[in-house]
Amino acid sequence: MSSAPVADASVKLDGILRRAWSLFYRNPIVALPLLVFLFAIVIVFGGLATVLVMSVLDATAHHQHGPPANLIPVGVIAAIAWVVAFAIQPLLFTALYGLADAAWTRDSATAADAFSAIRQRWIATYVAAVGFLALGIAGVILTIPTLGLVWFAFPVFTMYVFPAVVAGRRSGFDAIVESIRLVRRKLALSALATLILFAIQYAGSFVVFPFLLPMQFAIMTSTANGQQGLPHLEAWQFALAVTGYILLFVLAGASMGFNALVQTGLYRALQPAGDLPRSTA
């Protein structure tokens, strides 16, 4: 791993943000990996939850007591689905940052860039994921001594890990070390970028909230009236809620895609000239 001084004097966060937005506007495919993952999660776990709820309602209608008959198979399927979802997350982030790196290096990204990044960097990504897990365990231990401040530092000091794995071709543990080193050299820049990205994600929740508000009122009204089972929803309330949840997932995927572009752009800008390959393809 290169130990040359980082050429960071000319790095301007506002320029990185504007460039990242321009790239995202022309390459919305960057958001696709997480969108596909989120919608798959909704379909699988939403379907399982629906089966379970319908079973409970059927048992209640027939005055049956005890757990529903399909509780165990639904639980087993849900557990397997959760393990699979957890296991493939590193691959999704590899694809995400592969698309972001391609956008920065060529001004365009395609699905081929995502698969190329997975093919070339999946081992390093899983090694980095193990490092993330170790840091998470350390964070749990340090939560009380640091009064929880460790969880504010965690996303800042690890923000360059995936860009280092994909764009920098670093090994998993070297990527973590490099991320910490870059943040220490440019702490204010990195912390400000993280706060801005969190603020963008938080602002997105206000866009979704009005769509979910009627459903929340219906739930509170049914609870206050002592209604058993699912609350009654008018067609327009249900339609608004579905629209809100779809919009929530779209915004989540978009924000993660934009995050990847910003972090990759900052990582590349903080590297000495000629230190990085052109792309993962």
- pLDDT, tens digit, 9 for 90 and up, residues 90-105: 999 999 999 999 999 9
Question: What gap in Å lies between CA 186 and CA 128, rounded to an integer?
Answer: 22
Q: Once rounded to an integer, what is the mean pLDDT over residues 50-73?
A: 66
Which is more confidently placed, 24 or 222? 24
Average pLDDT in the 209-224 region?
A: 71
Domain locations in the chain as residue ranges: 16-115+186-269
Q: Which residues contact 10 (CB under 8 A, 6 or more apart)?
A: none
- pTM of the shown model: 0.81
Residue 19 has pLDDT above 70, yes or no: yes
Q: How confident is the model at residue 59 (pLDDT cuts 50, 70, 90)?
A: low
Phi/psi at 119 (5° precision): -60, -40
At residue 73 the predicted structure's pLDDT band, cuts being 50, 70 and 90, is: confident
pLDDT band at 246 (very low <50, low <70, confident <90, very high): confident
List of residues 6+ apart from 148 with CB closer than 8 A: none
- Work out the mean pLDDT of the chain and round it to a whole number: 82
Provide the pLDDT for residue 85: 83
Handedness of CA 18, 22, 28, 30 (dihedral sign): negative
Distance CA 116, CA 97 (A): 11
Length of the chain: 281
Residue 165's nearest CA partner among 124, 194, 214 is 124
pLDDT band at 5 (very low <50, low <70, confident <90, very high): very low
By mean pLDDT, which of 35-44, 226-235, 264-273 is the weakest?
A: 226-235
Query: How would residue 30 be classed by pLDDT, with cut points 50, 70 and 90?
Result: very high
Residue 58 pLDDT greater than 70, yes or no: no
pLDDT score at 227: 60
Q: Show Cβ contacts of residue 150 under 8 Å, excluding neighbours closer than 6 positions.
A: 139, 142, 143
Share of the chain above pLDDT 70, in %: 81
The rounded distance, in Å, linking the Cα atoms of 57 and 50 is: 10
Query: How would residue 163 be classed by pLDDT, with cut points 50, 70 and 90?
Result: very high
Q: For residues 224 and 250, what is the distance between their CA atoms, to the nearest angstrom?
A: 33
